Amino acid sequence: MLARIRSSAVLGIDAFPVSIEVDTHPGLFRFKVVGLPDTAVKESEDRVISAVRNSGFRFPGGNTVVNLAPADMRKQGSALDLPIALGILGASNQLNGNRIEEYLVAGELALDGSVRPVSGGLAMAIAARDLGLKGIVLPEMNAEEAGVVQEVDVIPVPDLHTAQAFFQGVCDLLPHRTDIFRVAEEARRVVPDLNDVKGQAHVKRALTVAAAGAHNILMIGPPGTGKTMLASRLPGILPELTFEEALDTTRVYSVAPLSGQRRSLILNRPFRSPHHTATTIAITGGGAVFPVPGEVSLAHNGVLFLDELPEFNRSALEVLRQPLEDGMVHIRRANYSITFPSRFMLVVAMNPCPCGFRSHPRRPCRCSEGEVQRYLGRISGPLLDRIDIHVDVPALRFEELHDESVSGPSSAEVRDLVQEARNRQRARSNGASSWNAYLDSSTLRRHCRLNDAALNMLEVAVLKMGLSARAHDKVLRVARTIADLEGVEAIQEHHIGEAIQYRSLDKEYWTN
């Protein structure tokens, strides 16, 4: 007898429909899964047999063939266990009814028949919605993330027996609905406040400008000056995620091998800080067989912080160029071609030399000029060119360290300024979230017109500092953001002056 079950498999951050076709007929006992299954799917044969029998059902004798259609696409992961088992029950007349045609099914089976969570629950719920199905049946642990998709019924099941009873019509299970407001309260995290950092007013100003326009920023200074503290406080001054951004970010975490991030909607902007020993694949994502998102995608709609930038592998840094330009990373392997979203703010920190004290006012530098140049040379010009704001983080004086007064505005106050600036950018782009850092050439010319004084200042800076065409555009984008923070439409001379100041470290450290 032939039975069909609707399911799906994940590729990248999207799920594509898979039809489980199960055929049983008399003969010698054989259980075969075809349709380009990977190792995890092939191993489902033993799991399914044990789960069916241990759940009190009869596993059919004779020849059983399971086809995963479409047969020309590789199926990965363990999410097909539950639909395969239900298909076997249907083919052996242990499951009847039309209800199963209205639902998409996914879940991993344990040997006792219980259902375990899988990756990509949110992507599968979106696939069920796009297919026009009534709902999706999946593990209880995946219900919270899948319940975000309000257009379909999310039916969580604890085991195979319950799933069979639901489709048989013996029991009715209530759909799970994710309470977005409750999730928001539970997910709300306490971010360290910006005014906890003593001094460094000009660096805080640079972070404010960076947050307002989604600009990339480089901080350079001796050890212990607060670079990491400042970077960790950046998420606290960024606007809260919109629902669309939260859904997009959750899709990435839903397919990532991070079990702790699968249960609900991601409502906090991600802050990723990989170690400098991270490999190229860890940064960009991919894998030989199963594609997983890397750090640039896990930081989507958030912040990617690279501390001790020159210590990173050169190839790992160079692969950042495409995500920084396109907001996505394209990965090609022999078995697949995939695209992950990667629109993030890049924040990098580094010392001015190997020992770290080249710019320290009280501690002498032990590095030779050749060592310094080799150290700085680990960062390529094209990557440096893609960082909008460069700011020096000097050592603090004793008086600043022991100043008991509040050091500058709080994160909440800065976040309000940033939100107002972004609201102006959204209004300028007719409601789209097109931040200044991502303006294309035609939009840049339209929104960044300069008066004669500002234009002359920019021309002198380009000639004297040797700025590239890309750096020229970066200065204009930063100046546009500074004007938005002031609430003015016309870019003035002092806006250009501040934006040029954020490119002066090129000349001080690298040009010489």
**Dist. CA 241–CA 233, nearest whole Å:** 16
CATH no. for residue 299?
Answer: 3.40.50.300
- pLDDT tens for 453-508 read 889 999 888 888 888 888 889 999 999 999 999 999 989 999 999 999 998 776 66
Which residue is it, tokens 């490119």?
A: 503
- On whether both 271 and 148 belong to a single domain, the answer is no
Instruction: With beta carbons less than 8 A apart as the criterion, state whether 294 and 283 touch.
Output: yes
Helix (H) or strand (E) holding 196: none
Residue 166 has pLDDT above 50, yes or no: yes
C-alpha–C-alpha distance, residues 453 and 150, integer Å: 54
Task: Express as a percent the part of the chain with pLDDT over 70.
Answer: 94
Element (H, E) at 218: strand 217-220
pLDDT of residue 188: 66
Domain span at 314: 194-198+216-397
pLDDT at 187: 63
CB 142 within 8 A of CB 110: no
Least confident stretch, 81-95, 210-224, 461-475: 461-475
My answer on whether 246 and 383 are in the same domain is: yes
pLDDT for the residue numbered 318: 92
Do 223 and 335 lie in one domain? The reply is yes
How sure is the predictor about 392, in pLDDT bands with cuts at 50, 70 and 90? very high
Final residue of a structural domain among 376, 397, 418: 397
Four-CA torsion 458, 464, 468, 469, nearest 10 degrees: 30
The answer to whether the CB of 382 falls within 8 A of the CB of 251 is no
- Please name which of 77, 36, 11 lies closest in space to residue 338, comparing C-alpha atoms: 11
Residue type, 206: A
pLDDT band at 406 (very low <50, low <70, confident <90, very high): low
Residue 429 lies in a domain: no
Residue 474 lies in a domain: no
pLDDT at 41: 84
Give yes or no for residue 130 having a pLDDT over 60. Answer: yes
Dig out the tokens for 19 from the structure: 């039809």
Tens of pLDDT, residues 410-420: 999 999 999 99
Residue 490 lies in a domain: no
Note whether 221 and 358 are same-domain residues. Answer: yes
On whether both 278 and 335 belong to a single domain, the answer is: yes
Strand partners, 135: 103, 153
The verdict on residue 225 lying in a domain is: yes
The predicted structure's pLDDT at residue 213: 95
- In contact, 462 and 452? CB cutoff 8 Å: no
Is pLDDT at 228 greater than 80 in this prediction?
A: yes
138 belongs to a structural domain: yes
In this structure, the answer to whether residues 355 and 222 fall within a common structural domain is yes
Decide if 320 is inside a domain: yes
The pLDDT of 398-420, averaged and rounded, is: 83
Residue 77 resides in a domain: yes
% of the chain with per-residue pLDDT over 90: 59
Question: Does 164 lie in the same domain as 253?
Answer: no
276-322, pLDDT tens digit by residue? 999 999 999 987 667 889 999 999 999 999 999 999 999 999 999 98
Does a structural domain hold residue 18?
yes
Query: pLDDT at position 76, please?
Result: 83
Question: What's the pLDDT tens digit per position in 29-47?
Answer: 899 999 988 887 888 889 9
Task: Determine contact, residues 1/22, Cβ cutoff 8 Å.
Answer: no
In this prediction, residues 71-92 reach a mean pLDDT of 92
- In order, the DSSP letters of 380-436 are -HHHHHT--EEEE-PPPPHHHHT--S--S--HHHHHHHHHHHHHHHHHHTTT----G
pLDDT band at 258; cut points 50, 70, 90:
low
Q: Which residue has the higher pLDDT, 78 or 157?
A: 157
Which pLDDT score, from 0 to 100, does residue 510 have?
A: 65
pLDDT band, very low/low/confident/very high, at 261 (cuts 50, 70, 90): very low
For the beta carbon of residue 267, count every other beta carbon within 10 angstroms: 20
What's the alpha-carbon Rg for the chain, to the nearest Å? Answer: 28
* pLDDT of 251 over the 60 cut: yes
Q: What is the mean pLDDT of the segment spanning 340-356?
A: 94
Across residues 314-334, what is the average pLDDT?
89
> In this predicted structure, what is the pLDDT of residue 292?
87
Q: Are residues 82 and 148 in the same domain?
A: yes
pLDDT above 80 for 232:
yes
Domain boundary among the residues 382, 397, 412 is at 397
Q: Tell me: do 164 and 220 sit in the same domain.
A: no
Cα–Cα dist 466/461, whole Å: 8
Give the CATH number of the domain where residue 62 resides: 3.30.230.10
Q: What are the residues facing 21 on neighbouring strands?
A: 4, 67
Q: For 47-51, what is the mean pLDDT?
A: 95
pLDDT at position 189? 66
Domain count, the chain: 2
Tell which of 397, 429, 452 closes a domain: 397
DSSP 84-142: HHHHHHHHTTS---SGGGGEEE--EEPTTSBEE--TTHHHHHHHHHHTT-SEEEEEGGG
The answer on 373 and 302 residing in a single domain is yes
Residues 158 and 76 in one domain: yes
* Contact predicate 480/487, CB 8 Å: no
CB 173 within 8 A of CB 155: yes
Query: Whole-prediction pTM value?
Result: 0.88
Average pLDDT on 415-430 reads: 92
Q: How far apart, in whole angstroms, are the C-alpha atoms of residue 147 and residue 153?
A: 8
167 pLDDT above the threshold of 50: yes
Do 157 and 23 belong together in one domain? yes
